Homo-oligomer: A and B are copies of this chain.
Amino acid sequence: MSAKTPVVRIEPLSPLLIEPAVRQALLEDLGRAGDITTEATVAADATAHAVLAARENGRIAGLDFVSTAFRLLDPKIRMTVRAPDGCDVEGGETVALVDGPARSILTAERVALNFLGHLSGVATATANLVALVAGAKAHVVCTRKTTPGLRTFEKYAVRCGGGRNHRFGLDDAILIKDNHVAHAGGVRAAIERARAAAGHTVEIEVEVDSLEQLDQALELGADLVLLDNFSVDELARAVRRTAGRAVLEASGGITATTAAAIAATGVDLLSVGWLTHSAPALDVALDFER
Contact = CB atoms under 8 A, between A and B. Distances in A.
A205 interface: yes
A213 B149 CA distance: 42
A36 B34 CA distance: 20
A180 interface: yes
Contacts of A145: 110, 113-114, 117, 281
B171 A36 contact: yes
A144 interface: yes
Contacts of A196: 40
Contact of A168 (B13, B21, B33, B107): B33
Nearest to A47: B183
A121 interface: yes
A257 interface: no
A190 interface: yes
A2 interface: no
Interface stretch (A77-85, A89-97, A128-136, A159-167): A159-167
Given A37-B174, A117-B277, A184-B41, A200 B268 contact: yes
Interface residues of A, number: 101
Nearest to A166: B201
A14 B28 contact: no
B278 A35 contact: no
Nearest to A27: B16
A257 B44 CA distance: 38
Contacts of A150: 147-149
A256 B13 CA distance: 37
28 contacts: A11-B39, A14-B34, A16-B30, A25-B149, A31-B32, A31-B170, A32-B169, A34-B171, A36-B170, A36-B174, A37-B174, A37-B175, A40-B197, A41-B183, A41-B184, A106-B180, A107-B170, A111-B148, A114-B144, A114-B148, A117-B277, A147-B147, A148-B150, A164-B199, A167-B201, A201-B205, A201-B223, A280-B280
Interface of A: 11, 13-14, 16-17, 21-44, 46, 48, 72-73, 102, 106-107, 110-111, 113-115, 117-118, 121, 139, 141, 144-152, 155, 164-177, 179-184, 189-190, 193-194, 196-203, 205, 223-224, 247, 268-269, 274, 277-278, 280-281, 288, 290
